[in-house]
Structure 1
Amino acid sequence: MVKVLILDTTKKLPAAVLDEFLEESFDDLVMYGENLDAIHVTAPEREEKITGRLDDEDQLVQAMTGVDYVFLDTSDASILNHVLHAIKQAQGPKLIYASAVGIYDEVPGKFGEWLKEHRGEEFLNQMKQLTDTVEQSGVTYTILRLPPTYTNSMNDNYQARTRNQQFMFTQVSREAVGRAITQIVRDQRGEYDNLNIALGEPGSEGDAPIFDPSRA
């Protein structure tokens, strides 16, 4: 049985990842973060809640005991470094890290321009630096570069693109990201180890996301 630690679980993307694991797997799950009162344990035999800070490496290491995978969604360099240090101390977990598309100028045309305008070149540069940090950290990782995400329980479709491929999809559902992560965790061959891929929703090619990012 695989054990997955979902950091900062109350955020929208980690919460969707948690829901996908609960629905589509029998894996053991650890929910970690502050203010977890809103999260209800529905399967105590496989779910555990740990209240802790993302900058507390001692707590993080304890939460990583027996964990196979750690999922992290952050644009904070300090938090990322604390998590990476804790993973090294825990000696074992693999990191699944949510990054952003557009950090390699892999998004052409009007959507590439939209990303630079709406996400900002400063943010994209920051996410590239954090992604570089993960790749150079020495931990085993899978990087998921994402376009704007939204919630759609009826659509968990996605396609993956490698780091060197152009990326044309303007959005992806959080449920699709969760589905991708459950598939990564199921892999027993190391196919996703040290892989950097982008996820997008088929049919969403265009100049901008179909949904309204301000309401997502």
Structure 2
Amino acid sequence: MTRVLILGANGEISKAAINSFLENTSYTLRLFLRDANRLPDYASDRIRVREGDATNYEDVYNAMDDVDIVLASLSGDLDKEAVTIVKAMQEKRVKRLIFVTSLGIYNEVPGKFGEWVEQHTREYAPVYKKAADIIENSGLDYTIFRPAWLTDTNEIDYEITQKDEAFKGTEVSRKSVAAVAVNIAKNPALHLKENIGINKPNTDFDKPRWK
């Protein structure tokens, strides 16, 4: 039985991933977050919940027991969280990591939308880039996600770009990002040691349509 640890389990991408894992796999889910009271009632015997702080090594280390795959969809001090996650995974000998960052951390978004992204991510982009660097140099079997601007659209529709390619599109649904994570969990060799942009095709606008 595959066991997936989801760090930042109350985040919107995480909640979409939880639903997708429950619907499309038989995997056991370990949900990690600061306050378990914030979680919906998933009414599933495949879920275990642990409270903790993703910057606290002991909390993360203890959450890694009997885990096969880690999905980290966090925010805030992402570089500190990356250090903690890498150290705990190395100590527990857990190898497969899916780590969510942000588009724009490499100035890879072209055109008017790139200018818009730079304006709206400049406060946290350096921290997210540092976190991505930590993951890439960790020796873990990672995949780094750089999703486009996120929507709650009920669809799975996406395309992938690599780190050395110009980013495409302006938006993508959280459900699509979750689908990529579930596909990787099913096939851990998929996007192995890749740093990928995720966007909805044919959304090449100057900014997200609702902004």
Question: AA paired with 1:142?
Answer: T
1: distance between equivalents of 2:166 and 2:56? 38
Displacement, 1:209?
0.9
Encode CA deviations 1:103-143: one digit per residue, 9 max, x unaligned.
Answer: 222211100011011222x4222222211111012222110
2: distance between equivalents of 1:162 and 1:70? 21
Displacement, 1:54?
1.6
What residue is the counterpart of 2:10 in the other structure? Answer: 10
Displacement, 1:23?
1.8
SS at structure 2 position matched to 1:209: coil
Question: AA paired with 1:123?
Answer: Y
Q: Is the 8 A contact 1:31 1:47 kept in 2?
A: yes
Matched, 1:106 2:108: yes
Encode CA deviations 1:149-199: one digit per residue, 9 max, x unaligned.
Answer: 1212x21211111111111210111111110100011115x2322111110
1: distance between equivalents of 2:190 and 2:20? 21
1: distance between equivalents of 2:17 and 2:190? 20
TM-score of the aligned structures, taking structure 2 as reference length: 0.91
Aligned residues: 208
Query: How does 1:43-82 map onto structure 2 within 5 Å?
Result: 43-44=44-45, 46-75=46-75, 76=77, 77-82=79-84
2: distance between equivalents of 1:211 and 1:91? 43
What residue is the counterpart of 2:99 in the other structure? Answer: 97
SS at structure 2 position matched to 1:37: helix
2: distance between equivalents of 1:95 and 1:115? 26
Q: Is the 8 A contact 1:100 1:124 kept in 2?
A: yes
Displacement, 1:74?
2.9
SS at structure 2 position matched to 1:100: coil
Unaligned stretches of 5+ residues in structure 2: none
SS at structure 2 position matched to 1:203: coil
Query: How does 1:46-195 map onto structure 2 within 5 Å?
Result: 46-75=46-75, 76=77, 77-120=79-122, 122-152=123-153, 154-188=154-188, 190-195=189-194
SS at structure 2 position matched to 1:177: helix
TM-score of the aligned structures, taking structure 1 as reference length: 0.89
The runs of at least 4 aligned residues of structure 1 exceeding 4 Å deviation read: none
Question: AA paired with 2:194?
Answer: L
Q: Is the 8 A contact 1:34 1:51 kept in 2?
A: yes
What residue is the counterpart of 2:31 in the other structure? Answer: 31
1: distance between equivalents of 2:205 and 2:63? 41
SS at structure 1 position matched to 2:49: strand
Encode CA deviations 1:73-113: one digit per residue, 9 max, x unaligned.
Answer: 23412222111111111112411111112222221110001
1: distance between equivalents of 2:109 and 2:68? 32
Unaligned stretches of 5+ residues in structure 1: none
Q: Is the 8 A contact 1:168 1:206 kept in 2?
A: no
1: distance between equivalents of 2:56 and 2:108? 35
1: distance between equivalents of 2:71 and 2:8? 9
Displacement, 1:203?
2.3
SS at structure 2 position matched to 1:199: strand
2: distance between equivalents of 1:112 and 1:123? 15
